[in-house]
Amino acid sequence: MSPRISGLRLPWQAGEMGMTAARASEWRSGRIMKIEEEFVVQVDTLGVVGAGTMGHGVAQVAGQAGYEVRLVDSASEALAVGVGRIEKSLGKLVDKGKLTDEDRQATLARIKTSTDLADLTAAGLVVEAVVEKLEVKRQVLSELDRVCPPETILATNTSSISITRLAAATSRPGKVIGMHFMNPVPLMRLVEIIRGPATEPEAFARVEELTRQLGKTPVEVHDSPGFVSNRVLLPMINEAIFCLYEGVATAPAIDEVMKLGMNHPMGPLALADLIGLDVCLDILRVLYDGFVDSKYRPCPLLVKMVDAGYLGRKAGRGFYTYGEGDRLAYHPADGYR
């Protein structure tokens, strides 16, 4: 067994063949997971690759759940920003009385950062959360496959890309699986767990149970472009953008219709800004290429805004402006007003 995983050939009841009461308690709580008959495996360390919006969110919830976390990004600046956002998020929870300051400090102490993927050899599971580009993700997974021990599960946070194509970049397709967290990770309970055709049942069981330990609700989905969430959501967002593009209504009007008429907590254009317009475009292109169906064709306005760098909240402007001053809405004919 590798140093990061303690494996015990023990029955499941305390007192039999030396299993302590404490170990049995851990088993019942779910921190020790049954993988094969007569085996339990304890995952103490979780790796995350990518310190952006999704990556630092996953690192935060794992740290809060008591896991040691190794957060890796090729850019030290991105790590500094990611950790800063974790600190800010935890601070808000303390201010709201949902977290003690002691727990905040303990969570931060569990999260270690690095720019070297080799520092993930101690992780029982690694979550890849880099940019939503097939070749970039394949490159990262291939390198993780090289540096991580063979029993390490490689999970990808892709929101649309084929798990099958990503797994093919590794020598362990049975241990590659999708863990699609929702944004913002600390607040959203859903995680789509995506099986590829080669994903082993044991790997799925481990990831499903770990998801629950993170305080999330796992939902099983099979491998298909966009899975369920984005196959349904992104066409709606794209159609809202078309409504703006064609002059059917303004951005605030479109969002108000969907909030008041459909009981959505956030309008589709504001949601697109939260997701990131570049991410929306990437997902729509995956859907369009995967299904070869014109109903997934990205709206030209979306393409134009991404080309202009109007990426949503993270860029300070998208369909709305963000920052100090009045919030302005984008109008295709004459810009923000």
154 - beta bridge partners?
126, 176
Q: Report the alpha-carbon distance of residue 185 to residue 292 in Å, rounded.
A: 31
Mean pLDDT calculated for residue range 267-277: 97
Active-site residue (options: 159, 160, 162, 238): 159
Q: What is the DSSP string of 86-111?
A: HHHHHHHHHHTTSS-HHHHHHHHHHE
pLDDT recorded at residue 325: 86
Residue 43 pLDDT: 66
Q: Which of 68, 128, 132, 192 is catalytic?
A: 192
Is 180 catalytic? The answer is yes
Q: Which of 18-22, 270-274, 295-299 has the lowest mean pLDDT?
A: 18-22
Q: Which helix (H) or strand (E) holds 71?
A: strand 68-72
pTM of this structure: 0.83
Q: Prior bond to 184 cis, omega within 30?
A: yes
pLDDT mean across residues, the chain: 89
Catalytic residue among 89, 160, 162, 230: 230
Q: In this predicted model, what pLDDT tens digit does every residue of 159-178 receive, in sequence order? A: 999 999 999 999 999 999 99
State mean pLDDT over 96-122: 97
More confident residue, 44 or 14: 44
Query: Has 25 been annotated as catalytic?
Result: no
**Interior/surface letters 150-160, b for 16+ CB within 10 angstroms, e for the rest:** ebbbbbbbbbb
Structural domains of the chain, ranges and CATH numbers in brackets: 5-222 (3.40.50.720), 230-329 (1.10.1040.10)
Whether 238 is a known active-site residue: answer no
- Does residue 18 carry a pLDDT above 90? no
To the query of whether residue 192 is one of the catalytic residues in this protein, the response is yes
Catalytic residue among 56, 180, 200, 238: 180
Nearest partner of 128 among 151, 107, 159, judged by Cα: 159
296-335 burial string, b = 16+ CB within 10 Å, else e?
bebbebbeebbeeebbbbbbebbbbbeeeeeeebbebeee
Give tens-digit pLDDT for 180-201.
999 999 999 999 999 999 999 9
